[in-house]
Amino acid sequence: MGDARFDFDGETVAVTGGSSGIGRAIALAFGAAGATVLNGDVRPDPKVGDVPTHRHIREEGGDAEFLETDVSDPEQLLALADRAAELGGLDVFVNNAGVFEDVPFLGADEATLDGHYSVNVKGVYFGCQAAARHMVDGRGAIVNVASISSRVAQGGLVHYEASKGAVEMVTRGVAFELAGEGVRVNAVAPGIVPTELYEGYSERYRTEEERDELVKPIPMGRPGTPEEVADAALFLASDAAGYTTGETLFVDGGWMVI
């Protein structure tokens, strides 16, 4: 018999940036666990191959929808949360959408910082607010996607690292404010996970030796998969994490223990 705490049957889950990579894996995992899934992304199609996430979930017998959403616009996040509520009451909101560009500190300009902050920080902040407006006085879970970059500097990424550091603190601050309202807020922090976003970064790592260099700091000696991150997100959203809030769960093959 399965564990009912990981059964999301009858629940509505909104995921931002659910068309590709980690967000897609999270959306598919919730769909497989019985949830009605709403994907809010700037594009319905995955960056690489395959059918759109909502269609994939439907083909597997589940319920899912796509709503075009740019998370840098708080109004569009509110519309996403409103639509999820219409689909049966918003239970889980995953702030996953993020952007990532490799720019050396001395070459970065105001647009570099603004571009990363408008999606990675503003998108998460107002995503939490939009979700909480439907969840207060009830039950709900918010899961934000942080990064090892929330704590570890790697070079060429100060703008991204600063934005992901902020995601961790938004998670803690919102968790504190909503703890008495029955809403838990946590973050999952992936290490290196080959996805479409990671491909830009991996241009620095074209040869096998360069790729070995990239995984060197990982005690487990390999990158993670989007599905491994999705499993952690499901745990944080589930009743199995019922007394956990304000936490950041690293899914990084042990990187943070060094």
Q: Which residues are catalytic?
A: 160
Is residue 186 near ligand NAD by the rule CB under 6 A? no
Radius of gyration over every alpha carbon of the chain, rounded to an integer in angstroms: 17
Contact 251, 228 (CB under 8 A): yes
- DSSP for 182-229, please give it: TEEEEEEEE----SHHHHHHHTT--SHHHHHHHHTT-TTSS---HHHH
Contact 140, 134 (CB under 8 A): yes
Is residue 19 near ligand NAD by the rule CB under 6 A? yes
CA triple 128-7-124, angle to 5 deg: 15
- Minimum gap (Å) between residue 129 Cβ and ligand NAD: 16
CA–CA distance, 221 with 132 (Å, rounded to integer): 39
Beta strands in the chain (DSSP E): 12-16, 36-41, 63-68, 90-95, 140-145, 183-190, 248-251
Binding to ligand NAD by CB under 6 A, coded x per residue (else -) over 199-238, reads ----------------------------------------
- Minimum gap (Å) between residue 52 Cβ and ligand NAD: 10
Contact 108, 158 (CB under 8 A): yes
Is residue 12 near ligand NAD by the rule CB under 6 A? no
Which positions from 107 through 146 interact with ligand NAD, judged by CB under 6 A? 119, 145
Is residue 97 near ligand NAD by the rule CB under 6 A? yes
Is residue 31 near ligand NAD by the rule CB under 6 A? no
One of 11, 21, 91, 141 touching ligand NAD (CB under 6 A):
21
- Minimum gap (Å) between residue 29 Cβ and ligand NAD: 13
Question: Whose Cβ is closer to ligand NAD: residue 42's or residue 136's?
Answer: 42
Is residue 253 near ligand NAD by the rule CB under 6 A? no
One of 5, 10, 43, 219 touching ligand NAD (CB under 6 A):
43
Residue numbers at the binding site for ligand NAD (CB under 6 A): 16-17, 19-23, 41-43, 47, 69-72, 96-100, 119, 145, 147, 190, 192-193, 195-198
